[in-house]
Structures are given as C-alpha cells and as structure tokens.
Amino acid sequence: MAMLEIAGFEKRFTIHHLNKVMPAIKDIHFSLETGEFIGIVGKSGSGKSTILKSIYRTYLPDHGKMMYDSSAFGVVDLAHITERQMLHLRKYEIGYVSQFLNVMPRTTCRQLVTNALLEMGSTEAVAGGEAEKALAHFEIDPKLWDSYPNTFSGGEKLRLNIAMATVKQPRLLLLDEPTASLDQQSKMKVREIIEKLKLNGTTLVGIFHDIEFMEGLCDKVYDMQTRKLTVGEKVGVGAES
C-alpha cells in the first residue's frame, strides 16, 4: 500500500456572487511510497496548491479519493474523514509548510517552535531543547531566536515554518512553493534542507513552478500540464549537484 494515493481527484470552486462554478482541477492521479519525495510542477494557476490544500483539508475536496496510510486510523480517505480525525492527523502526522507565516502575535521564534511541541503533549523542558535543535538544524541565526518573526525575510519565515512543522516529526510533509520568490542563495539553502528531511525519512510532497532547481532530489515528478507522472532516473539525469 502506498503512503498516499490520489485517484480521480477533482476540485471546483462555487463563487456565489458571480453565480458561477469555477473548475480548478480534475483527473489527478498519483501515488507516493513511504520516504519518497514527489514534486508537482506546473504553471502558476494550474492547480498545484489546490492539490496540496485539499490533502490538508484547507480546501474541501469535491470528487475522487485521497487514500492515506495513517498510523492512527490505518488507511483512510482524507476526502471523507471527520474534522476531528483531520485535526488529529494535522497535529501528529501531516505537516504543511509555505512561506507565509500565520502565527500567534507577539510570540518569539523560539516560543513558536516550542509551542508546536507542547501542543503534542511534550514537557516544557523537552520541548525547549528540541526547539533549539530544530532552529539550529534549519540554520536560523541564533540572534533571531528570541525575536518576533514579523520582520523575518521570506527565506527565514520559510525555514521557521519548516522548523515548526518538522519538530513534530510528521510522517508526511506538504511543501507549498517553498522556493517561490527566493533568491538563488536562499533556494540552495532550501534544497539542502529538503535533502536533510529526506535523509530523516520524511515523505514529502512539494510543489514548484520550476523543477530544474529540484533536479536530482525528487523521486517522482507530476506534471500538471501533461498529467503525467515521471519516475526515478528520468528525473534530472545526472544532475546531482
């Protein structure tokens, strides 16, 4: 059984003030084994984020199946589990990361990562230590640990988000355009961080508008234009950099 299998997935948006139903995506099929990294590529507006947000239930899925092999409930269809089950999975199994930070006001970087652990039931002492490790691991400057993230750069916000998500050791991590609007150097850092996550055995779904950058890193690539899944060596042949 694959860790995540998307079959015949479809999402439409009903816009009431226009009296319109906007089709977003349809006929999406792909699957992912434990420990793999799948990259979803396509132009902006092609529906990449819609897939990711639907997996995370930020969008309500319309049609199709999203079978996820959870450790809490066994194999479940993410499109149909209860809200409480989804909250449980979000808390313990599935992480979502973007460059946009949406956090409690006036909370320091260190406290945000600590809180993520406290919510899972860690003790204050353990959480504090783990938080520092995570912040160091994702190369957030220790000078920033006790500041509020309002003034962080895009790359720093992203790394803080990754630290908050991965400190919980999720089984499945969703990366929403982690490299968008970053410069070359910051992108390199993101790449290194994804390599670290892969080494830790995290299963990843990432969306990118330019896949060249992720060459050699993805095990599979799903192209939104062709609706095709490319597997293994065909992805960025010999581009290990």
Chain residues binding another protein by CB under 8 A are 13-17, 53, 57-60, 72-73, 83-88, 102, 104-107, 115, 118-119
78 and 61 Cβ atoms separated by less than 8 Å: yes
- Range list of β-strands (E), the chain: 4-15, 20-32, 37-41, 63-70, 74-77, 94-97, 172-176, 203-208, 220-223, 228-231
Nearer to another protein, 60 or 231 (CB): 60
Nearer to another protein, 56 or 213 (CB): 56
216 and 235 Cβ atoms separated by less than 8 Å: yes
Nearer to another protein, 1 or 22 (CB): 22
Nearer to another protein, 148 or 152 (CB): 148
Q: How far apart are CA 90 and CA 164, in angstroms?
A: 12
Residue 57 C-beta: closest distance to another protein, Å: 6
* Angle, helices 184-199/154-166, rounded to nearest 10 degrees: 10
Nearer to another protein, 83 or 233 (CB): 83
Residue 200 C-beta: closest distance to another protein, Å: 26
Residue 91 C-beta: closest distance to another protein, Å: 9
219 and 36 Cβ atoms separated by less than 8 Å: yes
Q: What angle do CA 98, 181, 104 make, to 5 degrees?
A: 35
Residue 21 C-beta: closest distance to another protein, Å: 12
List, as own/partner pairs, every contact residues 18-24 make where C-beta atoms lie below 8 angstroms and the sequence separation is at least 24, other chains included: 24/50
Residue 54 C-beta: closest distance to another protein, Å: 9
Instruction: Tokens for 184, please give them.
Output: 């070359």
Residue showing tokens 């992203």: 158
Residue 58 C-beta: closest distance to another protein, Å: 5
Nearer to another protein, 88 or 198 (CB): 88
